[in-house]
Structure 1
Amino acid sequence: MKNKLTLAIAVLPLALSANLYADVVHLDDVIIDGSACIGQDCVNGESFGFDTIRLKENNLRIKFQDTSNSASFPSNDWQITANDSSNGGANKFSIDDIDGGRTPFTLEAGAPSHSLYVDDGGRIGLGTNAPVVNVHVKEGNTPTMRLEQDGSSGFTPQTWDVAGNETNFFVRDATNGSKLPFKIRPGAPTNSLYIDTDGDIGLGDATPDAALDIESGDLLLTDGQATIRKVNDPKILFNENDAVADQWELGMADVYGNAMTLLNKDNPLIGYALYKTGDIYMNHGVDAASQGGKYAWHLLPNGNIEQTGNLWVGGDITAQGTISPGSSRATKNNINLINGESILQLIANLDIYSWSYIKDAGKVTHIGPMAEEFFETFNVGVDNKHISPTDTSGISLAAIKALMDKVESQNAKIEQLESSLEQLQQTKN
């Protein structure tokens, strides 16, 4: 009996030692009235403080392993990870999608308080524990959101920043030199820029009546002024239904000395230019230099228009007033007296016709010579396709003067003949 007892005492420590590292399976609920420490570095007499559950070792993980085996049930495995396990890894807290091989949520050590805060109303605070809107971003200097397209989906990488500070709210093109294509200054009035449901844009107007509607006054513009600025050639482009051809530009053009212009986009020689001097230049598509200068009319303070250059018109000109071509001696050179007798002889050989312009379809009849014959006969005017009223009136006046000279000469001869005849009759008597 003694030997059996001695053997049992000898074997008991070995049995206890063998069971020390065996799994503990408890087929019932477990209630621990106290704190629990789990991990290889937990020690006897662990000081828990206020910890209820403590994980303690050099690789801290809590894994959620779903054993669902039916296709109709979700079975993804998840893991909570504290810190990387590799040398030099990150001090971080993360949630890992084990089956997907992704880490959708990471919080690095050292992140400031309230880096991410969700209040009881579902509002999200970034840098604040008192969000007042759905997403509230708080930062000491220029709170910013970055939108980065990284090229992983095959599209060209592009990064934009949306930010705001005491100077302005802005959009920054971080990819292309951090340019700022859009800014709003603090204090800008309501409806400074308004885009309506139909695409109409209002500047200072919440009810735009056109594609671009600018409302003057205190709402947007100072003293009703709007300014369009560009380093060179500021323009507004007009076209119909996005047509490429026959587009027109309203703005300023360096080629016209910063005049206000309305020009054909494809041919800037067609259009109008208004100079600060009041000159109005109307181009018909031919280089001004080839025509001896610009084509200009000058708007006088009294509302009259004084011609200071050439004006080319492809249609009728109707005036409810006087057309007064300049004719001052001060504006002329190469001044010579005309031989009226030769003018009369040339007129005698010039045919005069009645005719109509083709564009008038025979509805309007005119009387006058042909420009080709007029130019060949008198060699005056700009070319053999046009006749100047100045030249026709000048030739008419020269002819009238020559006729008056003839009449006076003939009258003198008649008076002389009458006197001689009277003397002859007196002698006979």
Structure 2
Amino acid sequence: MTRLAACGLCALGLALPAAAQDTFTSGVTISDSDSAEADLFVTDVSVLDGETCIGNGCVSDETFGSDVTLKLRDATPSLTFIDSSSPPFPDRDWKLVVNDPDSGGLERFSIKDGETGNIPFTVTGGAQESALVLSGSNVGLGTSLPQKALHMVATNSPTIRLELDASALTPRIFDLYLAPGGFVVHDELAGTFPFRVNAEAPTYALSVFGDGEIGIGPSAAAAPLHVQRDDGTARVLVENTGGDPGVAREMFNMTNNGGSYFTLDNTDSGTTWFFNHENAAPNRFIIADAVADGPEMSLSADGVLTVPGGFVVGSTTLNVPDYVFAPEYDLTPLSEVSAFIAENRHLPDVPSAAQIARDGLDMTDMQMRHLKKIEELTLYTLAQEARLEAQAREIADLRKLVETLLE
């Protein structure tokens, strides 16, 4: 064995005798003194052909397995990288730490910043297989074959937690995780689930485009909020399911610093209707079609309703009073009608002014009541006409009788 090899073995903790001080021209110094000087100092290239143990815990009969080449055995084993560069070159020191006693007894392997003392990277004891894998430019968490830049795999709801700790003004904890039903955002402190994407959601189910517009269904939004379906199910539902019952609530609001309108567009028939809050005095509510012939209906703030065209009411429940002309209809004698008017100051079966003031006016019902009175009036008129014709015949007969008597 050469003296250089013997020196290397002594430095590695093997029990070999050494001279008090041997100096070699190759720059190797061996010392067995208890001074602060190193027992082994090498100023040239060193090569150790064999397994090595370094540290106060190494023993002379140290054993090595087939997968071990270098051991660090100590009560607090660590490896320090000291950069002797000078500024402006990087010169920060780093340390590999195992079971750092400052961690409170935590079993871990860590990288420690030699300047700040911070530990930016740690692997704790018992970490699962493939807990962190770097493959090419991909990072795997729980998988040894990451397929994306960050690929997380777990058997039960893989989760990413975002937390503002107790030192923050308002602590917050949000979990982003994959559940059997889909992707979920969970507010841990509030116990709510403010956002969810169910599994098998369709393409473009929800999109926020570069200009800030939101699409629910379309591949490109044509409005700040664009809802589109191609199966006949497109609709918007606003539903309140809580709060005090029986309370009126605003459920839809359109606010503008001028006029406003919404459009009903039938792409099949090519017809369009506009429901418009007029932009100029008297600021009427207007319903109009796409033909530039003026509004089809307008309502002023004073309650004046204007319909340039006709007004048609139709319903299978309308009780049209054609029954007045039935032979069995009991037409009220005019004497009774006269007595009713004298007592009540309005027609029978017609609401009084006080009733209308209290209950409002049902235009359809009033139209039917008016029609009934017109038909009854027609019957009264026909009856009167029959009596007049009978009287005329009687007068003619009396004239003939008088003329005969005078001859």
If the TM-score is normalised by the length of the shorter chain, which range does it land in?
Answer: 0.5 to 0.7
Shift of 1:124: 1.1
In 1: Cα distance, 2:103 partner to 2:115 partner? 25
CA contact (8 A) 2:57 2:73 kept: yes
Q: What does residue 405 of structure 2 align with?
A: 427
Shift of 1:389: 3.1
Shift of 1:215: 2.3
Shift of 1:52: 4.6
| Aligned partner (choices 114, 117, 120) of residue 104 of structure 1 | 120
Q: What does residue 115 of structure 1 align with?
A: 131
| Aligned partner (choices 347, 368, 376) of residue 378 of structure 1 | 347
Q: What does residue 141 of structure 1 align with?
A: 156
Q: What does residue 390 of structure 1 align with?
A: 368
What does 1:330-345 align with in structure 2 at a 5 Å threshold? 337-340=331-334
What does 1:55-74 align with in structure 2 at a 5 Å threshold? 55-66=72-83, 70=87, 72-74=88-90
Shift of 1:196: 4.2
What does 1:16-415 align with in structure 2 at a 5 Å threshold? 19-24=33-38, 26=41, 28-34=43-49, 35-44=51-60, 46-48=62-64, 51-66=68-83, 70=87, 72-85=88-101, 89-119=105-135, 121-165=136-180, 167-177=181-191, 179=193, 181-185=195-199, 187-198=200-211, 199-203=213-217, 205-209=218-222, 211-217=225-231, 224-225=232-233, 238-240=252-254, 314-316=305-307, 318-319=309-310, 323=314, 325-327=318-320, 337-340=331-334, 377-378=346-347, 380-381=350-351, 383=356, 388-415=366-393
Relative distance call for 1:344 and 1:23 in structure 2 (3 A) is same
In 1: Cα distance, 2:103 partner to 2:92 partner? 29
Shift of 1:94: 0.6
SS at structure 1 position matched to 2:79: strand
Relative distance call for 1:110 and 1:395 in structure 2 (3 A) is closer
CA contact (8 A) 1:91 1:108 kept: yes
SS at structure 1 position matched to 2:120: strand
Relative distance call for 1:316 and 1:31 in structure 2 (3 A) is same
In 2: Cα distance, 1:144 partner to 1:44 partner? 49
Shift of 1:313: 9.9
Shift of 1:17: 9.9
SS at structure 1 position matched to 2:101: coil
TM-score by length of 2: 0.59
SS at structure 2 position matched to 1:383: helix
Shift of 1:21: 4.2
In 1: Cα distance, 2:378 partner to 2:237 partner? 59
SS at structure 2 position matched to 1:425: helix
CA contact (8 A) 1:343 1:399 kept: no
> What runs of 5+ residues in structure 2 fail to find an aligned partner?
1-18, 21-29, 243-248, 263-298, 324-328
Shift of 1:27: 7.3
CA contact (8 A) 1:144 1:163 kept: yes
Would you say how many aligned residue pairs link Structure 1 and Structure 2?
311
CA contact (8 A) 1:97 1:103 kept: yes
Shift of 1:400: 4.1
In 1: Cα distance, 2:373 partner to 2:152 partner? 86
Instruction: Output one character per residue of 1:197-217: Cα deviation in whole Å (capped at 9) or x when no partner.
Output: 4424133x4345553333234
Instruction: Output one character per residue of 1:237-257: Cα deviation in whole Å (capped at 9) or x when no partner.
Output: 6543589xx999xxxxxxxxx
CA contact (8 A) 2:111 2:120 kept: yes
Shift of 1:157: 1.6
SS at structure 2 position matched to 1:129: coil
In 1: Cα distance, 2:255 partner to 2:34 partner? 87
In 2: Cα distance, 1:179 partner to 1:232 partner? 18
What does 1:2-13 align with in structure 2 at a 5 Å threshold? none
In 2: Cα distance, 1:178 partner to 1:238 partner? 26
TM-score by length of 1: 0.56
> What runs of 5+ residues in structure 1 fail to find an aligned partner?
1-11, 218-223, 249-283, 285-311, 350-374
Shift of 1:23: 1.0
Letter of the 1:41 partner, please give it: G
Instruction: Output one character per residue of 1:170-200: Cα deviation in whole Å (capped at 9) or x when no partner.
Output: 3334333364841322x44444444444424
SS at structure 2 position matched to 1:124: strand
Give the % identical residues.
Answer: 23
SS at structure 2 position matched to 1:415: helix
In 1: Cα distance, 2:313 partner to 2:61 partner? 117
